[in-house]
């Protein structure tokens, strides 16, 4: 199977798993960690491209699992995290990763945050090495083995 097909299948599998848990994913910690994860994936290469910002914002808006939260609130949090990353990527990354780590108190939410990162990263069919690396770092922040997610 081609790499692109594997990425697409993995993202679809993750989305299906997330939908099955949708009703359990309504906490503020999950909301914030998910938006932090989306920002990390969008800025994974160290820069925040306006087109990437827009694409990820659109993906957030249509993701069924994230529809538990008001779209304007998700957008505001996503933008805040991206602005933090854009100001100073390395310092911002540490700060934003702390938001991701807050989901670690509930293992189901922690796994869902990683799955959101994979879904967002793979949505364009190119879950590149830098995106995979920030998702692996998030796994570490959440005490989850990256191998659990084929990373």
Q: Go through the domains of the chain in sequence order and give each one's CATH number.
A: 3-17+25-149 (1.10.3680)
Range 88-96 average pLDDT: 94
* Predicted pLDDT at 34: 95
Half-sphere exposure of 150 (CA within 13 A, CB side): 12
Range 139-143 average pLDDT: 96
* Predicted pLDDT at 49: 78
* Predicted pLDDT at 11: 57
46 close to 125: Cβ distance less than 8 angstroms: no
Residues near 68 by beta carbon (within 8 Å), at least 6 away in sequence: 22, 25, 26, 31
**Higher model confidence: residue 7 or residue 102?**
102
149 close to 114: Cβ distance less than 8 angstroms: yes
Percentage of residues in the chain with pLDDT exceeding 70? 85
Compute the Cα dihedral for 30, 34, 35, 39 and give only its sign: positive
Kindly report the number of other CB atoms within 10 A of residue 67's CB atom: 13
Tokens for 26? 């309504």
Q: What is the pTM of this model?
A: 0.87
pLDDT, tens only, 28-65:
999 999 999 999 999 998 887 788 788 888 888 888 88
**Higher model confidence: residue 143 or residue 7?**
143
**Higher model confidence: residue 15 or residue 134?**
134
Q: How far apart are the first and last CA of the chain?
A: 17
Tokens for 23? 């009703």
| pLDDT classification of 3: cutoffs 50, 70, 90 | very low
| pLDDT classification of 10: cutoffs 50, 70, 90 | low
Range 87-106 average pLDDT: 94
Range 72-98 average pLDDT: 94
Chain center to CA of 134: 9
């Amino acid at each position: 199977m081609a790499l692109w097909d594997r990425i697409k299948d993995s993202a679809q599998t993750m989305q299906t798993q997330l939908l099955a848990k949708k009703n359990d994913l309504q906490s503020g910690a999950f909301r914030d960690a998910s938006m932090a994860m989306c920002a990390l994936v969008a800025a994974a290469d160290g820069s925040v491209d306006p087109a990437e910002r827009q694409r990820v914002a659109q993906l957030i808006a249509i993701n069924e699992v994230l529809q538990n939260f008001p779209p304007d609130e998700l957008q505001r949090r996503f933008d805040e995290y991206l602005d933090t990353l854009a100001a100073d990527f390395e310092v911002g990354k540490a700060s934003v990763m702390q938001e991701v780590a807050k989901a670690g108190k509930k293992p189901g939410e922690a796994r869902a945050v990683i799955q959101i990162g994979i879904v967002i990263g793979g949505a364009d069919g190119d879950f590149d090495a830098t995106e995979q690396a920030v998702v692996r770092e998030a796994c570490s922040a959440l005490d989850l083995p990256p191998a659990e997610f084929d990373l």
